[in-house]
Amino acid sequence: MRLSSHKDANHFAYPLDICAQMNSDYKVTKVFALPAAESDRMEEWGGTGKKFDRRKIHSGSEYHPDLQTERRETTTPYQVVQPDGPSFHIEGNLIRWEKWRLRVGFNYREGLTIHDVSYDGREVFYRLSLSEMFVPYGDSRSPYPRKAAFDLGNNGAGVNANNLQLGCDCLGSIKYFDAYHNTLSGEPLKLSNVVCCHEQDDGILWKHTNFRTNNAVVTRSRILVLQTVITVNNYEYIFAFHFNQAAEISYEVRATGIMSTNPIPIDAHVPSGTVVAPGVLAPFHQHLFSLRIDPSIDGQKNSLLVEESHALPFRDPTVHNPAGIGYTTTKRIIEHETALDTDVSTARTFKLINENILNAMSGTPIGYKLVPHYSQMLLAHPDSLHARRSEFGAHAVWVTRYHDCELYASGQHTMQSAGGEDGLASLIKSRDEGVRNEDIVLWHTFGTTHNPRVEEWPVMPTEKMMVSLKPVNFFERNPAMDVAISTQAANKSVLVDGSRCCGKA
Amino acid sequence: MRLSSHKDANHFAYPLDICAQMNSDYKVTKVFALPAAESDRMEEWGGTGKKFDRRKIHSGSEYHPDLQTERRETTTPYQVVQPDGPSFHIEGNLIRWEKWRLRVGFNYREGLTIHDVSYDGREVFYRLSLSEMFVPYGDSRSPYPRKAAFDLGNNGAGVNANNLQLGCDCLGSIKYFDAYHNTLSGEPLKLSNVVCCHEQDDGILWKHTNFRTNNAVVTRSRILVLQTVITVNNYEYIFAFHFNQAAEISYEVRATGIMSTNPIPIDAHVPSGTVVAPGVLAPFHQHLFSLRIDPSIDGQKNSLLVEESHALPFRDPTVHNPAGIGYTTTKRIIEHETALDTDVSTARTFKLINENILNAMSGTPIGYKLVPHYSQMLLAHPDSLHARRSEFGAHAVWVTRYHDCELYASGQHTMQSAGGEDGLASLIKSRDEGVRNEDIVLWHTFGTTHNPRVEEWPVMPTEKMMVSLKPVNFFERNPAMDVAISTQAANKSVLVDGSRCCGKA
């Protein structure tokens, strides 16, 4: 319900206490009353007769600038200037930047995809993509257990991608990519500005001061950002691949937008949600993402090495550890398709390696490691429909043999799926293929258990999650040693005089 | 040893196979031979007679620009312009920026400290500081078990702070802070430019597109960065506090510089280190930081609430969870000083709350939560000297009652300490003070188990770690709702024409 006549009044701010059921012809077939209190234990949809109350509805739930009473004017302009233009070179969907070479893809379902990634002429990844996203809600009162969205499989990250605007979504020198979808009648449909490409300064890349001469050498980190923003009804997601000069790739997810809300009587509370405004309940939920990583570490024949750091035994006469301080790594190469968990306590590390090529310095196989985003996995019971449909939510790391068209962690058809067919666990169970020195795919499940804060209402400050892929004994030295030294001549920073600042205060 | 006559030749690149012992008058009292192979099991320091070999020493171990054979020239200049100056206001050590008000401190030991932090007139933190850093090495061969530095207690983050240079360490409009130490004779010693203060663009702060009107509202995130860089012999650390417009504080640590090295015979390998160049072993080690967080969440009387997300029981007739998807939080307020662990599997959350003030929306105590950096804790055996000296390395979160002068997680005197006196565990053991609704201090241990990569040689690309403090039901809505809407008029981004880019390629 919108309280104001303004067209951009927040229609999630006044959740109705009814819920309509429609059939596939968009006809309402039934209207249900929503539960009003924790004690509402409806096995079937139905009303409780309890009244909701809108007396305390207030303007704090509006987000549109027209509807704000306060607007801070303290933030001075901040501009990024690249007098010689950006450092990237683009031809069609081919991007060359620093020593990277890659192709940008886009489709209705996954949105932004990255292909054929090489650094300094060496292949590193064949394809990087967001495979799926699952958003289950944790409120057990009917009808809320139905609330669980596959934002890629059901909605599509591509069709929901924003038309990005110059000067709003990115800062600096921006190249936009368009994409094409099709209309229902098969005509091409242009999706304009769905991906933006730009550079960012990322602080210090490396620095060393020789304490004997006091000479400092410092380089600044430049990153290439490929970003897309999607709106899925109430929520926004900002997905970005970052490439840096040290041959590292990061995947950043930012969650923002408006939380999905339920009505709640004034002064009531429930154990699976936060009251963010009078009458407005933001229920607990999870966001689980599956990042699909198809490596080609100097070729397609790759393996997954699981490494852990363990203390050496102390006071064991067979082990040399007299001071009790020794530690080393255990290494296990995964032989068959499987699911694995992260383990902070052992600093468990997942390395995609090429066993056929040894690093000339370390003498170990070349590789790239996954730096995971540590996350709680799916909370829904393993027997629940949620868990059966989103098998990838049970573990943080999955490794499978490559097969054409296996792109989706919850399978091809997620809409009303019952699970058990082509989700990751089902695929692995249905076959037992080797993944050592084969063409393999790594899937990383990560996300957030989102128990809302009042500060996330009416629009959330971005919640950031970051996953990285870093070379590990792939190169023969730091690949960023040749980056230009940071100088004032190029950077043109401005010294701020403290007293002048004071004067402005 | 330096191989080149250049004064900035890398003197960590050719580690000698001897080690000198000095007395307190800096006189060499003994010379030891370093172990050459894994099988060297010296209970006492002594030589093995094995020879090291320098035949394969190569120029890849040099980092200074004068000694590089390649230099990339592909990165175009990137400048940050603030035509109206920065948004911050500084008077002495007082900074006002957006709705923040805080004071910058600096001392020889902790380096940068932050004091009296308030947002929009409400106190949030009394003092934020890096309390200690411990860097133990994991090579069990003598004499390496002695290798374990307290970089604050033994060396000092303040006295080792870099004199920052305009245009090198930060980009944009930079205000520098000086600090004062003293000479051995008691004269004041000025440490110039040891802290830099500047603003950064931090991407999208919040965004929402109304899918009914297709109107997008987007704000960009501006952050205030207070940064200091220290050189501790071979290593560099970049410490930065980030303040954002949504009342969040982050503490970022970047590790860079040169890894501490040991000699190793050509073609030899050991299980507790990586050969990063011929004859150069970079041994496994850990970096454990203790961030000291002294809260004042709307006053000094605070508590620590530990919250976890747990699935509701399924098929339990006493619990309403018919679909098996329900989850809720458990809450436990800590009564006495103690150590706690992180737990990704339960999304364990540490909230600093003020039980005396309830949020008008959520009806729950106001607070700030710790977003930890998930890290493996100390690997050294609990009975080892390392563990006894660095008690804070055993657990990720510690809560104590506030006492004057209790600033250091490993105690006042770390140099040659034997532990057991005023480290966090010893302090807690020696008293059993209440921490509920009292003046309390939270200590967060985090870091990295650093098993070196060849890519980190000769200078490491920065390894980032991030800890955050976010308001949780402290405000009555998103405190950044009043941030100006992002516009091209202010941001002056530049559209990059794809074909022009092509032409440059």
Q: Is the pLDDT of residue A281 over 90?
A: yes
Question: Does A380 contact B at CB distance below 8 Å?
Answer: yes
- Phi, psi values for residue A317, rounded to 5°: -60, -15
Q: Is the pLDDT of residue B343 over 90?
A: yes
Q: Comparing B266-280, B295-309, B331-345, which segment has the lowest mean pLDDT?
A: B266-280
Q: Is the pLDDT of residue B42 over 50?
A: no
Q: Which residues contact B197 (CB under 8 A, 6 or more apart)?
A: A496, B88, B90, B95, B104, B174, B175, B176, B177, B224, B225, B226, B227
CB–CB of A458 and B476 under 8 A?
no
Give the residue from B58, B381, B488 with the most A CB atoms within 10 Å of its CB, the best one to mutate: B381
Q: Comparing A51-55, A131-135, B469-473, which segment has the lowest mean pLDDT?
A: A51-55
Give the residue from B71, B80, B96, B483 with the most A CB atoms within 10 Å of its CB, the best one to mutate: B80
- Chain B residue with minimum CA distance to A477: B455
Q: Is the pLDDT of residue B498 over 80?
A: no
| pLDDT score, position B432 | 85
Question: Does B41 contact A at CB distance below 8 Å?
Answer: yes
Give B167's pLDDT tier (boundaries 50, 70, 90). Answer: confident
Q: Is the pLDDT of residue B46 over 60?
A: no
Alpha carbons A361 and B60: distance in angstroms, whole number: 11
A390 in Cβ contact with B325 (< 8 Å): no
Question: Does A458 contact B at CB distance below 8 Å?
Answer: yes
**C-alpha A35 chain-centroid distance:** 33
| pLDDT score, position A4 | 82
CB–CB of A494 and B172 under 8 A?
yes
Mean pLDDT over B270-284 rounds to: 94
Give A50's pLDDT tier (boundaries 50, 70, 90). Answer: low
Shortest CA gap B79–chain A (Å): 5
Nearest to A90 among B284, B449, B501 (CB): B501
| pLDDT score, position A499 | 45
Active-site amino acid positions of B: 151, 235
pLDDT above 90 covers a percentage of chain A that reads 83
| pLDDT score, position B218 | 97
Give A55's pLDDT tier (boundaries 50, 70, 90). Answer: low
Mean pLDDT over B390-418 rounds to: 96
Q: Is the pLDDT of residue A35 over 50?
A: yes
Mean pLDDT over B8-32 rounds to: 88
Q: Distance between terminal CA atoms of chain A? A: 43
Helices and strands (H and E) in chain B: how many: 4, 27
| Helix (H), strand (E) at residue A188 | strand A188-210
Give B429's pLDDT tier (boundaries 50, 70, 90). Answer: very high
A97 in Cβ contact with A85 (< 8 Å): no
| pLDDT score, position A47 | 45
* Structure token pair of residue B122: 């409400």
Pairing of strands A494-495, B173-182: parallel
What Rg do the C-alpha atoms of chain A give, in angstroms?
26
With contacts defined as CB-CB under 8 Å, which chain A residues touch B89?
A: 501-502, 504-505
CB–CB of A98 and B72 under 8 A?
yes
- The model's pTM: 0.96
| pLDDT score, position A42 | 43
Of A115, A79, A175, A165, the residue nearest B505 (C-alpha): A175
Nearest to A258 among B8, B80, B208 (CB): B208
Alpha carbons B305 and B331: distance in angstroms, whole number: 7
- pLDDT tens across B180-190, in order? 999 999 999 99
Residue B122 CB-half CA count within 13 A: 15
Alpha carbons A453 and A275: distance in angstroms, whole number: 9
Mean pLDDT over A155-179 rounds to: 94
Give the residue from A481, A483, A495 with the most B CB atoms within 10 Å of its CB, the best one to mutate: A481
Question: Does B362 contact A at CB distance below 8 Å?
Answer: yes
One-letter identity of residue B270: V
CB–CB of B501 and A175 under 8 A?
yes
Q: Judge residue A440's burial from the number of C-beta atoms within 10 Å of its C-beta, 0-12 exposed, 13-18 middle, 19 or more buried.
A: buried
| pLDDT score, position B168 | 87
| pLDDT score, position A43 | 36
| pLDDT score, position B307 | 98
| pLDDT score, position A266 | 83
Alpha carbons B3 and B14: distance in angstroms, whole number: 7
Of A37, A36, A456, A45, the residue nearest A282 (C-alpha): A456
Nearest to B89 among A325, A478, A502 (CB): A502
Active-site amino acid positions of A: 151, 235
With contacts defined as CB-CB under 8 Å, which chain A residues touch B346?
A: 376
- pLDDT tens across B214-234, in order? 999 999 999 999 999 999 999
Give A54's pLDDT tier (boundaries 50, 70, 90). Answer: low
Alpha carbons B130 and B114: distance in angstroms, whole number: 10
A172 in Cβ contact with A82 (< 8 Å): yes
Give B56's pLDDT tier (boundaries 50, 70, 90). Answer: low
Q: Is the pLDDT of residue B245 over 80?
A: yes
Shortest CA gap A287–chain B (Å): 13
Shortest CA gap B378–chain A (Å): 9
Alpha carbons A138 and A381: distance in angstroms, whole number: 11
Q: List, in sequence order, every residue forming a beta bridge with B401; answer none if it has no partner.
A: B440
Mean pLDDT over A254-272 rounds to: 92
Q: Is the pLDDT of residue B45 over 60?
A: no
Alpha carbons A392 and A63: distance in angstroms, whole number: 35
pLDDT above 70 covers a percentage of chain B that reads 94
A115 in Cβ contact with A102 (< 8 Å): yes
- pLDDT tens across B90-140, in order? 999 999 999 999 999 999 999 999 999 999 999 999 999 999 999 999 999
Question: Does A320 contact B at CB distance below 8 Å?
Answer: yes
Those of residues 88-127 in A touching chain B at CB distance below 8 A are 88-91, 96, 98-99
Mean pLDDT over A180-200 rounds to: 95
| pLDDT score, position B416 | 87
